[in-house]
């Protein structure tokens, strides 16, 4: 039994009766001598420690920093991010594996693993190591329902002052990897390591990350050597040019991949199709959808009077409703409907436009959560998603091979779904 004074102290410390630790920044020293600084986020439980019935409190922590010596006098430092859910079909380069302790280098040759992809962003080299690749090939994560720490992303640094900017770049690289692999790729921790691989400085953060099993077959899993490298090197600067728009767009497409219901996927894909089309057609003169001079007629007082005279025969009608009707007509004349916008956007990308039946179910789905289809549900979803994917890949400057479930068991060159700029527009052709 716990006596009353001890129980009160326990409750206060554990946050069941007070706020002694929760939300506080805590500094300390680990048993191995490393210093630690972390934030206590929330109390999650406790464990009894026998034989004295002491209690070990369990807390969720965040923004943790662990130091194991000074980095200031060390040369050739590497900033190494640990990544989740990365598993590539192929890697581009070979990494030599160090010999285990006790083996004679004169008698035993070092191991080799084809597990590396190198790319350059803004004169900085980044190295992606796929840890699911062994000396004998690719191995899937051991538990697809658990968080899979399957890769590292490294770059050289001179001082710790560079780390703040590198965190932001690593987030953006993870965003592109999530898109390319159809997985939840992020970094829960980073290490500053010396040339021997010893971690001198570690940072860890609390993240939300869905398991490997939630993802699917990625469009660019490096089906051919150099394709993932080329995609990141081309897409990254394009995303930098319109960072906020691309961040929201890639996150939205990622949620399509994570969604379980086809209807949810379709809603997000329609939003993406509209968003992409609006972005591509911004600045275009798309007025006069009904007639170029319609606005002049709608603005005339005499037209308002005549229209209101007709509509006011309806019980309860007033002038505000008539103005609203005129406003709707103006919007019809100012911008094309979604199927036409998507067609025009596809024309601008030199992508074969879809048939109207692919976009037509949108309104009923958004308002009534019902899909009225002229084709099989799964085929409809595949075609809609493949269209949006192709538009995004072209916008990101990619020109290699890609994969989508619509393609069956094969990858295809992206150019197969585009027409040359000289080819006349082809009306009503599906994206495959």
Band the pLDDT of 152: cuts 50, 70, 90.
Answer: very high
Task: For residues 144 and 296, give the distance between their C-alpha atoms in angstroms, rounded to a whole number.
Answer: 62
Task: For residues 218 and 408, give the distance between their C-alpha atoms in angstroms, rounded to a whole number.
Answer: 13
The kind and range of the H/E element at 333 are helix 319-334
pLDDT of residue 97: 77
Least confident of 133-142, 227-236, 308-317: 133-142
pTM for the structure as a whole: 0.82
The kind and range of the H/E element at 128 are strand 124-130
pLDDT in tens, 182-210: 999 999 999 999 988 889 999 999 888 88
For range 217-229, the mean pLDDT? 94
pLDDT at 291 over 50: yes
User: Do residues 120 and 189 lie in contact, with contact meaning Cβ atoms separated by under 8 Å?
Assistant: no
pLDDT at 143 over 60: no
pLDDT in tens, 95-135: 887 777 777 777 777 778 889 999 999 999 999 999 988 64
Mean pLDDT of the chain: 85
pLDDT of residue 18: 46
Q: What angle do CA 234, 386, 412 make, to 5 degrees?
A: 65
The kind and range of the H/E element at 157 are strand 149-157
pLDDT in tens, 331-349: 888 778 888 899 999 999 9
pLDDT of residue 429: 32
């Amino acid at each position: 039994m716990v006596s009353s004074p001890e129980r009160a102290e326990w409750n206060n410390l554990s946050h069941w009766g007070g706020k002694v630790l929760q939300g506080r920044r805590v500094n300390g020293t680990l048993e191995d001598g490393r210093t630690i600084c972390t934030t206590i986020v929330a109390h999650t439980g406790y464990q009894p420690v026998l034989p004295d019935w002491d209690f070990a409190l369990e807390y969720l922590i965040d923004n943790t920093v662990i130091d194991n010596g000074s980095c200031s006098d060390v040369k050739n430092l590497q900033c190494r991010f640990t990544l989740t859910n990365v598993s590539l079909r192929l890697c581009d380069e070979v990494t030599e594996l160090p010999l285990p302790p006790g083996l004679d280098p004169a008698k035993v040759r070092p191991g080799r693993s084809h597990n590396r992809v190198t790319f350059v962003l803004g004169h900085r080299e980044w190295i992606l190591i796929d840890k699911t690749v062994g000396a004998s090939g690719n191995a899937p994560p051991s538990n697809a329902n658990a968080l899979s720490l399957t890769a590292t992303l490294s770059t050289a640094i001179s001082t710790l002052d560079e780390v703040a900017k590198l965190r932001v770049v690593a987030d953006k690289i993870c965003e592109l990897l999530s898109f390319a692999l159809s997985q939840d790729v992020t970094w829960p921790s980073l290490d500053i390591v010396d040339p021997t691989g010893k971690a001198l400085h570690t940072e860890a953060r609390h993240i939300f990350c869905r398991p490997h099993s939630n993802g699917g077959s990625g469009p660019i899993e490096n089906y051919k050597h150099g394709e993932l490298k080329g995609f990141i090197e081309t897409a990254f600067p394009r995303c930098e040019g319109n960072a906020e728009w691309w961040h929201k767009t890639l996150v939205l497409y990622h949620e399509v991949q994570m969604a379980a219901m086809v209807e949810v996927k379709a809603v997000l894909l329609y939003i993406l199709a509209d968003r992409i089309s609006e972005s591509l057609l911004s600045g275009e003169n798309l007025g006069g959808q009904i007639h170029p001079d319609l606005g002049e007629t709608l603005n005339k007082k005499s037209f308002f009077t005549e229209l209101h005279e007709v509509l006011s025969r309806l019980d309860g009608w007033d002038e505000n409703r008539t103005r609203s009707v005129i406003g709707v007509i103006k919007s019809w004349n100012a911008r094309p409907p979604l199927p036409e916008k998507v067609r025009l956007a596809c024309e601008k990308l030199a992508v074969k436009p879809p048939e109207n039946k692919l976009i037509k179910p949108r309104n009923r789905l958004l308002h009534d959560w019902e899909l009225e289809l002229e084709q099989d549900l799964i085929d409809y979803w595949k075609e809609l998603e493949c269209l949006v994917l192709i538009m995004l890949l072209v916008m990101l400057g990619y020109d290699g091979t890609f994969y989508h479930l619509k393609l069956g068991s094969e990858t295809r060159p992206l150019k197969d779904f585009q027409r040359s700029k000289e080819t006349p527009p082809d009306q009503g052709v599906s994206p495959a």
